[in-house]
Amino acid sequence: MTLLKPLALAALIAFSSAPFAQETLKIGALVTLSGAGAAWGTGMQHAAELAADDVNAKGGLDVGGKKYKVQVIAYDDKYQANEAVTVANRLVYDDKVKYIIGPVGSAPVLAIQPITEKNQVVVMTLGFTAKALGTDKLYTFRPNVTTAEVAGPQIEWVVKTRNVKRVGALFPNDETGQQIAKDLTTAYGKVGADLAAKEFFERDRVDFVPLITRILAAKVDAIELDGNSPSTAGLITKQARELGFTGTIIRTGGPATQDIVNVAGKQATEGLLVHTPIDPKLPSTAAYAQAYAAKYKRAMNGFSPAFYDGTHLLFEAMRKAGTVSDTAKVVAELEKIKGHKGALGESSWTGKAAYGVDHQLDAPFYVAEVKDGQEVIRARCTASGCK
């Protein structure tokens, strides 16, 4: 056996460590990994990891002449505001992150913003509340469309094509549920339908029979699932069908179809009308779904591509700003990005009219009908309408 001489050994070590030049960029994933919202949070965490894989496979993220290996640090907020605050403190003060993917919920994002905004930490949240974005929250972005963006065009299409007149709905009794109830009441009212019965409940509830019974007593011809976690929406669907409800079941926002089918079964979900932010046949979306399934051995949640694109938008903004540490410069570049081509197709930032800042992603979305457990797209939508 021939031993390498010291200089040759040193050169070999330097060569083997060259791709990342010893610089690490930490990205926090403050998401829900347990409980009813785990499907969303896991999809967001994996989205950030897949985006990190992309740049790491090329030798790292090239910013300002340096190469950074991207490391995703994930923590579970359990979809609770107090847990989210604990995790945010850990990420910001202990792990020293300047970028966070998450949180999932509205209450958690509102709870952590005093920490993240004060420390100029860029946040990519899923939280649906309108209060998440604003001129006083310049470091918060939302890379997914919400009920506020999709409800009008989708509900107009559903009411006109499916003759829906009276709707009942069950909402979580929190910031997310309250906001979605307001948005849906307005959207149904604008097109001549009536959100005639509303029930609010705590997120850990699993028996919905008493609430559904009251809704059915209001003689509704449709039940709305928007705002509920995938597993909760599945339970409501299953229990509504067991009570004999044969009308239309609608999910205006929040991709969750596969999880709903898994809980409720194919028979109970046949004909369900759902919002979906993705067209599985779009080549870029199909490629992402394939990569996700290859790594994690399961189908992605529909929100995941938005956070894959959101993480790549962050990387692009860092490259253009020439810094990973000066987040004010990164935010300035992030806001300028238009026509980004990612897993969702082509998207840009919008939102100034509604929120005062262009921190809301503008991307196409779809209405699908569930047939034999699978989504079949029935309408293609933008903010101006569905057809």
CB 112 within 8 Å of CB 104: no
Predicted local confidence at residue 341, as pLDDT:
94
**The CA-based dihedral angle spanning residues 232, 235, 237, 239, taken in that order and rounded to the nearest 10 degrees:** -140
**Lowest-pLDDT range of 10-19, 168-177, 201-210, 303-312:** 10-19
pLDDT in tens, 134-170: 999 999 999 998 888 889 999 999 999 998 999 999 9
Q: Is 243 helix (H, G, I), strand (E, B) or coil?
A: coil
Which residues, 6+ apart, have CB-to-CB distance to 204 below 8 Å?
35, 36
Average pLDDT over residues 193-214: 96
> Mean pLDDT throughout 185-190?
94
DSSP state letters, 211-235: HHHHHHHTT-SEEE-TTS-HHHHHH
pLDDT at 15 over 90: no
pLDDT above 70: residue 21? no
Task: Tell me the average pLDDT of the chain.
Answer: 92
Looking at the predicted structure, is the pLDDT value of residue 226 above 60? yes
Cα(155)–Cα(132) distance, integer angstroms: 24
pLDDT at 203: 87
pLDDT (0 to 100) of residue 256: 82
Measured between alpha carbons, how far is 335 from 94 in angstroms, rounded to an integer? 28
Strand, coil or helix: 260: helix
For residue 283, what pLDDT band results from cuts at 50, 70 and 90? very high
- Whole-number percent of the chain with pLDDT over 90: 80
The residue-averaged pLDDT of 49-63 equals 97
d(CA 320, CA 324): 10
Could you tell me what percent of the chain has a pLDDT over 70? Answer: 94
| Residue of 111, 177, 154, 109 lying closest to 359 (CA atoms) | 109
Burial of 170 (0-12, 13-18, 19+ CB in 10 A): buried
pLDDT value at position 22?
Answer: 64
Tell me the pLDDT tens digit for each residue of 70-93: 999 999 999 999 999 999 999 999
pLDDT of residue 42: 96
Helices within the chain (DSSP H only) = 6-17, 38-57, 81-89, 106-118, 147-162, 175-190, 209-217, 230-242, 257-264, 266-269, 283-296, 304-321, 327-336, 352-355
Q: Which DSSP symbol is given to 339?
A: S
> CA 187 to CA 272: how far, in whole Å?
19
C-alpha distances out from residue 72 to 31, 46, 317, 336, 372, Å: 12, 9, 18, 25, 37
Q: How far apart are CA 353 and CA 356, in angstroms?
A: 6
Please provide the DSSP assignment of 112-177 as one string. HHHHHHHTT-EEE-----GGGSSTT-TTEEB-S--HHHHHHHHHHHHHHHH---EEEEEEESSHHH
Backbone angles phi, psi at 27, to 5 degrees: -115, 125
| 295-326 tens-digit pLDDT | 999 989 889 999 999 999 999 999 999 999 99
In this prediction, residues 205-209 reach a mean pLDDT of 96
Residue 208 has a pLDDT of 98
